[in-house]
Chain A
Amino acid sequence: MLESHQRFHSANGKRQILIADDELINRELLRAVLQDTYELHFATNGQEALDAMRKHRETLSLVLLDLLMPVMSGMELLRAARADATIAQIPVIVISGDIDSEIECLQAGAMDFIPKPYPKPGVILARVLRTIELSEDRDIISSTERDELTGLYNREYFYRYVEQFDLYHRDAPMDALVVDVNHFHMINERFGTSYGDLVLRQIAEALLTAVQPAEGFVCRREADTFLIYCPHGVDYDGILANASIRLTNGDRQGNRIWLRMGVYANVDKMLDVERRFDRAKRAADTVQGSFARRIGIYDDTMHERELYSEQLIENFDSAINEHQFSVFFQPKFDVQSEPPILASAEALVRWFHPTMGMINPGVFIPLFEENGLVQRLDLYVWRAAAAQIREWKERFGISIAVSVNVSRIDMYDPYLVETLQEVVRDNDIDPSELVLEITESAYTQDSQQIIETVNRLRDLGFRVEMDDFGTGYSSLNMISSLPIDALKLDMQFVRSAFSGTQDTRMLEVIIDIADYLSVPVIAEGVETEAQMLTLREMGCDVVQGFFFSRPVPPEEFERFILERKAVEARVREGDGNDARRGTHKQTAVTYGRIVQALAADYFGIYYVDIQTGAYAEYGAHHKYRSLGIDTTGTDFFADTKRNIERVVYPDDIEMLQATLTKDNIEDSLNRTGVFTVTYRIMFEDGPSYVHLKATRMVGGNDKHIVIGVSNVDEQIRREQERARAIRLANQDALTGVKSKLAYSQDERKLDRAIAAGGQGPFAVVVFDVNDLKYVNDTQGHAAGDQYLKDACTIICQTFKHSPVYRIGGDEFVAILRGTDYAAREQLMAQLDVNNRTDVHGGGVSIAGGIAEFQKDTDQRLAAVFKRADTAMYENKRRLKGTSGSSIR
């Protein structure tokens, strides 16, 4: 019978009602009354009705139920529905001529009873609507109590419930427990959020089962944090063991989910409910990451620490008023200068407590960050720093920029900009002298607002450094689009690069890219000369750390200012000792550079009269003695020619003999002021790269040149390594095509070419691989990866002559020029044909959109990209409309 009514079904936004009656006439009568207002489903017996309720449980607003029906009666259905939690909440109105059954029906869970013969249509409509609304209100109330995902109490309701419970159980000792999932974000990342949700639901169920017998109750506070309030003395281990489940579906078999628990036992009922669970949470955090200990107990030590924290918070006001906070300064050195020279300072706060002595900022700053007091502390430091800048300027006639921390909370202060302006104005300094350090993570959270604020500050002349870079939030791509004046590498990041395996490759890549983007790099936490030198070689501009100085009081800092003044004075006198190094920038070689060479890098220095060939050799030492070169000679070029055959790596002999001639050197010196050549020398342990550099002595009239030979083997190997690391960063690991980073670099190049007006025709194609998520979800990530690779192969084979980039999970871009540009229409058609054939074969389908560069209107690649992206989405919609369903 259900079929005969199907023509009445409508897929619109109406509420849905199920009509269960075995008599056609009754169903038709109800249909006539209800069909304008509701979407109707029909059933002709109780079993059909039960099936329909289960099938439409998400959408069904009401069931109208006849009592006497074949197969399963209305009353049986009513009872079955109440017993099935998934459909028990769907309201039912019984419609029957058996008035005597009314009470029984209502007791069995019916919400209303309508007699037969049917009352007037208006009455039916009104009662139906009232019942639906009542039931929806009830659902809303219950959903505000419940966490949608797990069905557990939500946080607000749970706290209220605990308060109520305590009112009636004043003397019952209770425990507050917090359960967290270790590395839950990893589960989400590896297996997807739907799997993560499943895990959370299973944990919720396990906790509920474990706690209910002890008359405890459970809520999900947020994300992967569960709270339990239960009578004191339950078996914590037992609860945790029961809830630590082994999930065994599909190929993820055996993925153990590790939980940790924090216990605040026998709670102090004078405490806020929230604070009780804060204590339990803190206890849970003490065992974070530990596999040996899974349960943390809030104990006396933690309690003392909490009291200590409270005391610090209490003392904050007097500490500010009595100037217990002192501002120290740590110098930042420009290491691309030789010798390194003071560039600026960072202001760092210290607390000298009258009774507790010096308090570590690592203790009080996180505490004040947590409760917002840090905002007042920051202002205190800004003012002190600004006053100090002013004082130094007056006393030493020199401007030392000082950077200060701007905490995340400050960034949300609507008056931040005005406050900073006021600080600068009050102390009569320039905004550029008060440098603002904003932590990297602030940029990633709510970044739009932060970026707007930072832009305003920079417009006003403030300089902004991104602090703590490398702690894991931002990508290198971000840097190019963010408004910053310098990148400050996180101290831990620098330290870990230099510890253990000395893996500095990532550092190098970051510095290289920052250099490419013209953003200076500052390294914090530099402790040794070796670290400083390495960073300098990599191209790091400014270094801060114990190697130069710990943070010192202003009086002590003055010696750095005096040193800088002395260096500057020497420079003015023409000593030249401040030569810019320019390892990266390849500036001209100067006398300062030769001095430096004499001191360190070169193993051979020759002082040669270019006209006569008379020469002297300096500084051949330790292992390079085996070269056996004379200390003085009358014909440098003849001697060299001879020596070359003895010491140079055979493959390079011919090249070097042809290159290292008097004419060549002179010619090059005349043109560029420098002559260089790189070749290999045979040492006992094999060939090594050396670099020979010749330059004239200062002043154009001197007939002498200086030639330096340095061992660059390590440097060359490092450059090869660096090139490899950069290549890797530019390549997508999965598909091997160009990465998003490469895209943003190429984008900049193209934008420059467009700006210069020299860009020829090109087109951008944006691709989106359909159904990746579906494949990932149903067949696992290995299949998903293969699916992506297949898609990528199709794109690369279709657009053979174009660079292809993977710019997102399932998004690719190709930039078409030349052959592919000319054939763009055929190629897009080919992609389309591929989609049609492949979709029906269950294969890969790729939505593509193309846009051409319009020389007259497009000022940036992004404009072309945007049009292609729009075209791609239109194509995607079409694909879904026509054939998308054949995949699913």
Chain B
Amino acid sequence: MTLDDLAAYGANVQEGLGRCMNMEAFYLQLVETIKAEPNFDALAAAIDAGDLDAAFSASHALKGVLSNLSLTPLQKPMEELCELLRAHTDMDYAPLMAEITQQLERFRAL
């Protein structure tokens, strides 16, 4: 994975790199860990089980790291999901989860 790959993916590379004191390797190393981030599975499982609190917890944690790394395509739907879960909104989360899953697949393919 390169910075160009990430930029092409839609990440705000400039911003994310800035938080890493412009250390490219360090940024890429952190971004790479997202591919195996266990909270994605935890989030999906909680949604399936209808456990909105657990789902919120996972989405909140993910939102934080995604935004800090400026992985915008994943960050945006995650923020939306997090706010809905915080409010315990009674709705079908499947479309939003589908988008997240699709963006995660794209990201993992980088």
Contact = CB atoms under 8 A, between A and B. Distances in A.
Contacts of A24: 33
A23 B64 contact: yes
A33 B21 contact: yes
Interface in A1-42: 22-26, 28-29, 32-33
Nearest to A115: B67
Interface stretch (B1-9, B44-52, B55-63, B95-103): B55-63
B65 A120 contact: no
A26 B62 CA distance: 11
22 contacts: A22-B61, A23-B61, A23-B65, A24-B33, A26-B64, A26-B65, A26-B68, A29-B19, A29-B20, A29-B30, A32-B21, A32-B26, A97-B60, A97-B64, A97-B67, A116-B67, A116-B68, A117-B67, A117-B70, A120-B18, A121-B19, A121-B21
Contacts of A66: 64
A118 interface: yes
Interface in B62-93: 63-65, 67-70
Contacts of B20: 29, 32
Contacts of A273: none
A669 interface: no
A25 B65 contact: yes
B109 interface: no
B67 A25 contact: no
A110 B56 CA distance: 25
Given A118-B19, A120-B18, A25 B26 contact: no
A764 to B, nearest CB: 60
A81 to B, nearest CB: 22
Interface in A171-225: none
A687 B105 CA distance: 119
Contacts of A32: 20-21, 23, 26
Nearest to B23: A32
A118 B68 contact: yes
- Counting chain A CB atoms within 10 Å of each CB, the highest count among B19, B63, B64, B67 belongs to B64
Contacts of B18: 120-121
A68 interface: yes
Interface string B20-33: 11010010001001
Given A68-B61, A97-B64, 17 more contacts: A23-B65, A25-B30, A25-B69, A26-B64, A26-B65, A28-B30, A29-B30, A32-B21, A33-B21, A97-B63, A117-B67, A117-B68, A118-B68, A120-B18, A120-B19, A121-B18, A121-B21
Contacts of B61: 22-23, 68
Nearest to A95: B64
B67 to A, nearest CB: 4
B60 A68 contact: yes
B57 A68 contact: yes
Interface string A46-83: 00000000000000000000101000000000000000
A105 to B, nearest CB: 16
B42 to A, nearest CB: 12
Interface string A491-534: 00000000000000000000000000000000000000000000
Closest 7 pairs between A and B when the two form their complex, measured CB to CB? A117-B67, A25-B65, A117-B68, A32-B21, A116-B64, A25-B30, A23-B65
Nearest to A33: B21
A28 B20 CA distance: 9
A37 to B, nearest CB: 12
Nearest to B15: A117
Interface in A84-135: 97, 116-118, 120-121
Contacts of B67: 97, 116-117
A33 B23 CA distance: 11
Contacts of B60: 68, 97
A43 to B, nearest CB: 16
Nearest to A68: B60
Contacts of A23: 61, 64-65
Nearest to B18: A120
A33 B68 CA distance: 13
A97 B83 CA distance: 11
A28 B64 CA distance: 13
A22 B23 CA distance: 23
A358 B47 CA distance: 103
B33 A117 contact: no
A68 B63 CA distance: 12
A116 B63 CA distance: 9
A33 B30 CA distance: 14
Interface in A223-268: none
- Counting chain A CB atoms within 10 Å of each CB, the highest count among B21, B33, B34, B67 belongs to B21
A118 B70 CA distance: 10
A120 B57 CA distance: 26
A22 B58 CA distance: 11
Contacts of B65: 23, 25-26
A120 B68 CA distance: 10
Contacts of A28: 26, 30
A24 B31 CA distance: 12
Contacts of A121: 18-19, 21
A27 to B, nearest CB: 10
- Counting chain A CB atoms within 10 Å of each CB, the highest count among B30, B34, B57, B65 belongs to B65
A97 B69 CA distance: 14
Contacts of A22: 61
Contacts of B63: 97
A46 to B, nearest CB: 14
Nearest to B68: A117
Nearest to B63: A97
A24 B61 CA distance: 11
Contacts of A118: 19, 68
A121 B19 CA distance: 6
A32 B23 CA distance: 9
A302 to B, nearest CB: 72
Nearest to A28: B30
Contacts of A97: 60, 63-64, 67
Contacts of A117: 15, 19, 64, 67-68, 70
